[in-house]
Structure 1
Amino acid sequence: MTLVALCSFKGSPGVTTAALGLAARWPAGELPVVVECDEAGGDLLARFRLETSPGLVSLAAAVRRGAEPGLVWQHTQRLPGGLPVVAGPAGPEQAHAALAHITSAGAAVLRRAADRPGTVVVADCGRLGPSSAALGILRAADVVLLLARSHDDSLSHVVANLDVAARWPWHPSFVLVGGGYPTSEVASTLGIEVIGRLPEDRHGAAALGGRPGRRSTPTQSPLGRALARIAAVAASRASTEPGGKQQVADSLEADPGSLSAGRRSSPHKSWEGVSR
């Protein structure tokens, strides 16, 4: 019974790929569904050659008649591996209109779907702006994961938006992507909680994006394993908040490479000296 929202402040750190991997590696016993809520337009239709309907647009139309708990499932399609998804339209105008309608009532349709026993709704909210229609989904979420690359330009955008994140009812947990500054340094300098790090793994990303090759599968890849660890932490955080911080510490301790990945820090970081 969990609603997880994934988002970013800047660039393309792989939010859609992470949402798919998080759902695919969610702990057993719960059934995940991915809902593409990126107002810039969705990627799943093209990646997996899905039909344009059912999807986010048909879900938005159906919400006008009610938001019963099973409504989301009526607008899903299945990916080749069996994962159910609600695909967003590729066009930003259509995506924004659909999202605005779905979130006008506080994202009730996603919240009610997530409240069904054994259900996990993973919302891919893409890149957020100050007036993003997806903000209503974040307010309704149990867990918010904010993805960011660990470089000066991306971290500068994180710094610029920390005051926005501080006003969210649920404080986001950060997930760093790729190389760059060490995880522990980013967390301590910015005063944020980092629950994991996703490696640069193009073969694993291709497998999650529907383009598997002989060298990698979604579950066996470094990216898949990292997402499994993050899914376990998110699931624990959603169900028992008091134990969440210890689970984060255990996860990072079990993955020491995530604490020292990337290059050494620079003495002239543009995002240094900022904390909450």
Structure 2
Amino acid sequence: MLIALASVKGSPGVTTFALALAASWPTEVRRVVVECDPAGGDLVQRFGMAASPGLLSLAAAARQPVDPDVVWSHVQRLPGGVQVIAGPPGGHQARAALSTLTSAASPLYGTARRPAVAMFADCGRLDPGSPAEAVIRHADVLLLISGTYSDELAHLATRVHDLGRTAARACLVLAGRGHATHEVARELGIPVMARIPHDPTAAGRYTGRAAPGRRRAGGLARVATAVAEALSGEPAREPSPPSPSVVQQAPGVPAQPTAASGVRVLPPTALHNGHLHSTAPGKDVRP
């Protein structure tokens, strides 16, 4: 399964959520996060990783026909166990690597089609003409992540339907503070799958800036677990103990009693004729 994650404005936490989602995915599935951001990757600097193996070494290997399993020779493991293929910090090198790895014969696509594999492609900010759009065309699901302040939503409104037509399934995930979820859904005419809360303590685990001795999972892990279960159709795992969190609802979706009882995440959606439509029943995730 290939899951692409991207934004259209700013930095609403695409990389952070990609890592949290991979950490929450069912454990029987082999998981890898690939930095496909044409502006350059963050993981090398965040976690003090070696520059190689990574996206550049994989691109060099993929210049010749290779077995898709070659992908696993270019991963590194983060603290906590998530496997990643880190992109180079520089945009020029990242774009050069993507020119090879986004072609139809890319080993990334072959690996993602293997049974019991989940690949999370961090596509960064999708400016028009981004080479990462090729990844979205091959993805099973696009998680389009957006902040909810007015300037972010204005950019989202101009791109969301075009990107939805590019992807097989497009799901809108909101992040952080700003306009209420139901207001965004009403104004854009698009249901919201989930909302990632402002949770700097939990996010620190995925940005290399975790506070020593603080392991609270928080709302980020809770929402990542719910989204993982909605997309995979299997019981997901929480990387650490949950804490109370509230995910607001799109119009017409019954609210759950409290976050302590469960988090409601709308099902995956598909965009047809310019509108996003639900494709499956909603799921309740209970601790």
What is the TM-score of this pair, normalised by structure 1?
0.82
Q: Distance in 2 between matches of 1:55 and 1:151?
A: 34
Superimposed CA distance per residue, residues 200-257 of structure 1 (whole angstroms, 9 cap, x where no aligned partner): 1111111122332257437x222111111111122239xxxxxxxxxx99x9844867
Decide which of 154, 174, 177 is 2:175's aligned counterpart. 177
CA distance, structure 2, for counterparts of residue 116 and residue 202 of structure 1: 35
Match of 2:218 in 1: 221
Change (3 A) 1:255 1:102: farther
- Structure-2 residue corresponding to 1:45: 44
For 1:243, the equivalent position in structure 2 comes to none
User: Structure 1 residues 256, 194: closer, same or farther in 2, change over 3 A?
Assistant: farther
In structure 2, the partner of 1:241 is none
Matches within 5 A, 1:13-28: 13-28=12-27
Letter in 2 for 1:186: V
The answer for the alignment partner of 1:153 in structure 2 is 151
- What pairs up with 1:124-163 in 2 under 5 angstroms? 124-163=122-161
In structure 2, C-alpha distance between the alignment counterparts of 1:198 and 1:215, rounded to whole Å: 23
1:179–1:102 Cα change, 3 Å: same
> Which stretches in structure 1 are left out of the alignment for 5+ residues?
238-247, 260-274
> Contact 1:69 / 1:115 at 8 angstroms: preserved in 2?
no
Amino acid at match of 1:229: A
| Letter in structure 1 aligned against 2:203 | A
For residue 83 of structure 1, what is the amino acid of its counterpart? V
CA RMSD, aligned part only? 2.4
Please give the residue correspondences for 1:1-276 in structure 2 after superposition, counting only pairs within 5 Å.
2-105=1-104, 108-214=106-212, 216-217=214-215, 220-236=217-233, 253-254=255-256, 276=275
Q: Mark the CA change 1:216 to 1:67 in structure 2 (over 3 Å): closer, same or farther.
A: farther
* Paired amino acid for 1:63: A
Q: 1:165 to 1:46 in 2, by over 3 A?
A: same
- Cα distance between partner residues in 1 of 2:127 and 2:257: 32
1:102-128 deviations in whole A, cap 9, x for unaligned?
A: 11326x322211112211001100001
Name the amino acid aligned to 2:172: F
In the alignment, the residues of structure 1 paired with residue 8 and residue 162 of structure 2 have an alpha-carbon distance, to the nearest angstrom, of 11
Call closer, same or farther: CA 1:215–1:234 in 2, change over 3 Å: farther
- Cα deviations across residues 131-155 of structure 1 (Å, max 9, x unaligned)? 1110111001011000001111000
Structure 2: distance between partners of 1:90 and 1:121: 21
Give distance in 1, aligned partners of 2:257 and 2:103.
Answer: 41
Question: d(CA) in 2 for partners of 1:194 and 1:12?
Answer: 19
Structure 2: where are the runs of 5+ without partners?
235-249, 265-273, 276-287
Across the two proteins, how many residue pairs are aligned to each other? Answer: 247
TM-score (norm 2): 0.79
The aligned residue for residue 237 of structure 2 is none
Distance 1:89-1:188 versus aligned 2 partners, 3 A rule: same
Determine if contact 1:40/1:95 at 8 Å carries over to the other structure. Answer: yes
